[in-house]
A and B are shown apart, each in its own frame.
Chain A
C-alpha cells in the first residue's frame, strides 16, 4: 500500500483524478435475469461488468476510484479480491466503500459528502456503462470551465449521438434536452417514455434568455457524468434528490436562485452505452461482439488472449469450447470456457456462457446464456436471456422476449410465449402467510419456474420496457402517427405529457393547496409573515414549482383566503371587506415575492385569471389594483403594459379589463402629467 500512497501523495491533491463507481442501478429493470446476482457481476460476453468498468477506469488514467457496494456486498468483494485490481502494483488506487443502507444515487452522494472523500472534479460512473471514451480530456475541459468561465458549473453529462429509434435507445427512457448552443449549458431536460408520440412543451423563457438554443432528441444517455466537488454537498443539502434526473432538474429549475449550472457534451466517435433495460443489455452485448467498443473487445477482456480465438465474422471461441460437426456459427457468437455445442446447431448473435451444454440441432438467435445452462436437442431460443443454470428439455421453444432467471427448469417440449418472465424460486410474499405460489404451468410437469411479476411503482411510466420486440411494428407506428396529427390532436398532447404532466399538474395543485392551508392558518393564528415565507419556500422546493408559477399561485391563494371554508360566494362589497384585512396581513409576503417586472406581470395575470371566474373579485379588481399600486407592489408601467397587451383575450378577460379601465385611464393621465411636468422642467 505504501508505494501506492506514495504515488498519490506525489501528485498534488488537485491533480489526482478521482472516480466514483456505483455497483448498483437501484432498480429492478434487469430482473428476473439478475434477481440474485449483483449487477456488477452480471456477465457481458462472459466477463463481469465490474471488470469492464475497472479496466476502463484504469486505462483512461484515473488515479483513485471509490467503489460503492450497496447490495450483495460479500459476493462483489469476493470477486474483487480474486482479481488484480486490489493488488499493490495496480496503478489505480481502489477504495471499496460498503454502504448497504444506500438505496439511491442520492444516498451514495450524501455518504460521499459525509465522509468528505472528494477533493476534485470526479467521474461518476455506473457499473452498467460500457464505453471507450477518452475521459480525462473531457474532465479537464470541465475543470477549466469551472475555473474560468462558469464557477457554478456543477456537472457535465455525457451523451452519445443516436438517431431516434436506434437499438441502443429504443427501449429506454428518451432524453429531450435544450442547451445553449454556444456553451452547451443545459436549460431544459426531460425524460420521455420509450416509444412516446405526441407533443412536448418547452417553456418559453429558455428561448428568450439564450441567443441560440439547441434542441436535442438525438441523444442516448451514457450514464457517465463529470461532477464538481460540490455535487455531493448539493445532494446533502437537498434531501429529496434521489436520482441524477432529480438533480439535473433541480439544478436547472433553481438556476437563478442557486447559480448552479449543468452542461452536456457529446462523446463524438467514441462508444458509450448505459444498460438500463434488458433490451439494451442485448444490444450492448451485440455491440461488444461487433467490436464497436474497440479496444474493449472480448479477446482483450480475456485474461489470456491466446485462450480466446477470434475469427472473421466476430466468432469468439474459447480454447476449451467444443463445437460439434455441422454446426454453423453464423456471426457475433461468443463461446465461453468449457462450453459445448452439439452438432447441426445454428448460432447467430449468441453468447454461450462457460460450461453451457447445448444438444444437437439447437437454434440460438439473439440469445444470451449465462454460465451452466443446459439445452436439450432441438431447442429454439430467440431474443431471450437465460440466467445461470437454466435447463431446457429437448424440443423447448422460447419466443422472443423471454427472460428466465437463475435455476429455471423447463420440462417437456414446452413452448414459452412472447415475453414470458420466469424465476427459479417462488417470489417472496410480502405479507407473509398465504399458500405457497404454484409453479408456472409453462414449465411442464416436474419443471421449476414461477411467474415473475414486476413491481408496479408510480414511476412505471418512465421505467424502460422489459425485453421488447427487436423492431417496433412499423405499420402501427405510421398509423398512429397520422391519426394523432389530424384527429386526436388534444389527446396526443395529453398522452405525451402523460410522462411528466400528471406529475407536474399534481405537484402544482398540491403546492397550491398547501400554500392556501398555510395562509389560512397564518391569517387565523396571526403567524408572522417571515415564517409564512419560509413555509411557502419549503413547499416550493418539495414540489419543484418554478418561480413564475409560485408568484401567481401565491397571489391566487391570497385571494382565496376570504372565502376559504365557505361554499357560497360572497357579494362584491362583503368580499372586499374581508379581502382588505387579508391583503394588509400578507403585504410583506407580496413584497417578498413580487419584485421584478416579470413577477409583477404574473401577479397581474393571476389577478385577472382569478377575476375571470369570480364575479365579486372582478367587481373590486380596480380597488385591489389601486391598493397594490399604492403599496408600490405594482408599478404603473407594468399595469399599463399588462392592459395594453390585449391579444387573444377571452370574453371574460375583456370584461375584467373593462372594470379597470378607469384606473388605467387615471394612471395614463398621471403619467402624461408627470411627463409633461418633466418636460416642462427640462424646457424651463
Chain B
C-alpha cells in the first residue's frame, strides 16, 4: 500500500460519500458531520491498515479528496483532521510509555504564537509512525464515539453560555435560521425576557422559520422580523448581534450565510458586539484567499430570487444566488464554542488544540 493513496475499498466509500452529499444539496451541517463520523468509523474499522503510518496516509488522502470534492462542507475536512490528531497522539502516548522520553506537558498546551514562529515549521522531526500498535483501532473507534458525544452536546454546551451574554430587556439581533443560535436564544428565554430582531435571510427565508419557532416559545420573547434592507436602520437600537456560522476560518474570519458581512459592517458602525456561536467541528484550518473564490462561494439555483416560470426576465438578465459571505475577523467580537468564549485572534490556539499542524494543508482548497 503506497502512502497517501486510498485503498480501493476506501476509495469506494469516499466517492459514495461524496455523491450522496453532493446530491443532498442544502442540509444542516450537523447531518453532514454525523455522516462524516460514520464514514470515518468505516475507514478506521477497515482491516487494510496495520501500521499507524498507513492509517494516517489513508486518512490524509481521504481528507484531501473530500476537501477538494466538497469544498463547501466544513465538517468533512475538520473531522478528518480531528481523527488524524487523535491517531498521532495515541501513537505518541504509546511511544512515551515505552521509551519513557522526558517530556513536559504535551506541546500543544504550551504552544504560543511566539514559540510556533521561532520554532519554525518542520524543525521538530515528525514522529515515526511506522510501528504497529495493538489496540489503536479500538482506541480510535472509542475516540470517534467521544467525538460524536461532543457533537451531540455542543449545541447545549454553547447554549449554557447564553445567560452570560443575554441580559434582561436586551435587544438581540440574529439572521436566518441556525439551530445553534436558536438553542442559545431558547436557553436565555427560559430565564430572561428580551427582544429578538430576526433578519429574514432572503432569499431563502430561514429567518421566517426561526421567528416562528421563537414566537412559539412558552415564555414569550418579543420577536420582530425585518427585511435585510432594514438592517442598518434597526441596528442603532440593538445591544448584541448573535449569529450562526458556516465555517470559522483559521484567521478567525467567517464563511457565513450571505448577507452576514453587511450585517457585521452595520454592527461595527454602531459599535454593537457580534457574537458567533460556533460548534467545534466548524472550526477549520482553512484560510480564505481573496484571489481564489472557487470552492469558497457556492451559488445555487436562482429560483428563489426569481421563479424560472417568468419568461420575461429569464435568459435576459443574469441571476445569481450565492450562499456565502466572507466576514473578516476584525468584524467579529467573540466566538462562543462549547468550551467558552474565544476572541478571533486566539482561534489559532483552538486550531492547535484540535488539529496537528501537519494536517492543516489537506483542507486547503
Contacts and interface: CB of A to CB of B under 8 A. Distances in A.
- Do these two chains really belong together in a complex? yes
Interface of A: 59, 89, 132, 160-170, 218, 269, 271, 283, 286-287, 290-295, 300, 304-306, 309-314, 331-332
Contacts of A283: 315
Contacts of B25: 294-295
A478 B16 CA distance: 55
B308 A160 contact: yes
B22 interface: yes
A330 to B, nearest CB: 10
B69 interface: yes
B22 A166 contact: no
B242 to A, nearest CB: 29
Among B22, B69, B70, max chain A CB count under 10 A is at B22
Given A160-B309, A161-B309, A163-B310, A311 B293 contact: yes
30 contacts: A59-B23, A89-B12, A89-B16, A160-B309, A162-B309, A163-B309, A163-B312, A165-B312, A166-B311, A166-B314, A168-B311, A170-B311, A269-B303, A269-B304, A271-B301, A291-B302, A294-B299, A294-B300, A300-B22, A304-B68, A305-B69, A305-B70, A305-B71, A306-B69, A309-B294, A310-B294, A311-B294, A313-B318, A313-B320, A314-B320
Given A89-B12, A304-B68, A314-B320, A292 B303 contact: yes
B340 interface: no
B203 to A, nearest CB: 12
A305 B14 CA distance: 14
Contact of B301 (A162, A292, A310, A331): A292
Give 6 closest A-B pairs by Cβ, nearest first: A166-B311, A161-B309, A306-B68, A294-B301, A59-B23, A163-B311
A244 to B, nearest CB: 23
Contacts of B322: 312
Nearest to A162: B309
A295 B22 contact: yes
Contacts of B308: 160-162, 271, 287, 292
B211 to A, nearest CB: 22
Contacts of A286: 315
B300 A291 contact: yes
Contact size range, B = 20 to 34
A291 B92 CA distance: 48
B153 interface: no
A331 B293 contact: no
B142 interface: no
A218 to B, nearest CB: 7
A304 B311 contact: no
B interface majority secondary structure: loop
B302 A292 contact: yes
A295 B311 CA distance: 22
Interface of B: 12, 16, 19, 22-23, 25, 68-71, 293-294, 297, 299-304, 307-312, 314-315, 318-322
Nearest to A331: B318
Nearest to A161: B309
A interface majority secondary structure: loop
A306 B18 CA distance: 13
Given A166-B309, A291-B321, 12 more contacts: A89-B12, A165-B311, A167-B311, A169-B311, A269-B304, A291-B300, A295-B22, A311-B294, A312-B293, A312-B297, A312-B299, A312-B322
Contacts of A287: 308
Contacts of A312: 293, 297, 299, 320, 322
A474 to B, nearest CB: 12
Contacts of B16: 89
Nearest to B23: A59
A527 B145 CA distance: 87
B322 to A, nearest CB: 8
A278 to B, nearest CB: 16
Nearest to A307: B68
Contacts of A294: 25, 299-301
Contacts of B310: 163, 166
B302 to A, nearest CB: 7
Nearest to A317: B294
A47 to B, nearest CB: 14
A574 B309 CA distance: 66
Nearest to B15: A84
A59 B303 CA distance: 21
A291 B301 contact: yes
A290 B311 contact: no
Nearest to A470: B315
Contacts of A290: 302, 318-319
Contacts of B19: 59
Contacts of B321: 291
B274 to A, nearest CB: 26
Nearest to B22: A300
Given A161-B309, A292-B303, A167 B69 contact: no
Nearest to B24: A295
Given A89-B12, A294-B300, A162 B311 contact: yes
A292 B314 CA distance: 10
Nearest to A164: B311
A283 B308 CA distance: 12
A59 to B, nearest CB: 4
A269 to B, nearest CB: 5
A650 to B, nearest CB: 44
A167 B315 contact: yes
A306 B22 CA distance: 14
A162 B322 CA distance: 24
A287 B307 CA distance: 13
A287 B308 CA distance: 10
Contacts of B301: 132, 271, 291-294
A295 B315 contact: no
Nearest to A220: B309
Contacts of B318: 290, 313, 331-332
A205 B70 CA distance: 56
Given A167-B314, A167-B315, A295-B23, A304 B69 contact: yes
A169 B311 CA distance: 9
A305 B19 CA distance: 11
Contacts of A293: 301
Contacts of A59: 19, 23
Contacts of A218: 309
A293 B25 CA distance: 11
Given A300-B22, A311-B293, A291 B299 contact: yes
Contacts of A165: 311-312
Contacts of A169: 311
A440 B50 CA distance: 69
A167 B301 CA distance: 17
A459 B288 CA distance: 58
Contacts of B69: 304-306
A468 to B, nearest CB: 14
Nearest to B322: A312
Given A292-B301, A305-B68, A312-B297, A269 B22 contact: no
Contacts of B312: 163, 165
A165 B319 CA distance: 19
A291 B320 CA distance: 8
A332 B316 CA distance: 13
A293 B299 CA distance: 11
A477 B303 CA distance: 29
A636 to B, nearest CB: 55
Contacts of A166: 309-311, 314
Nearest to A218: B309
Contacts of A160: 308-309
Among A294, A313, A314, max chain B CB count under 10 A is at A294
A313 B322 CA distance: 11
A160 B322 CA distance: 24
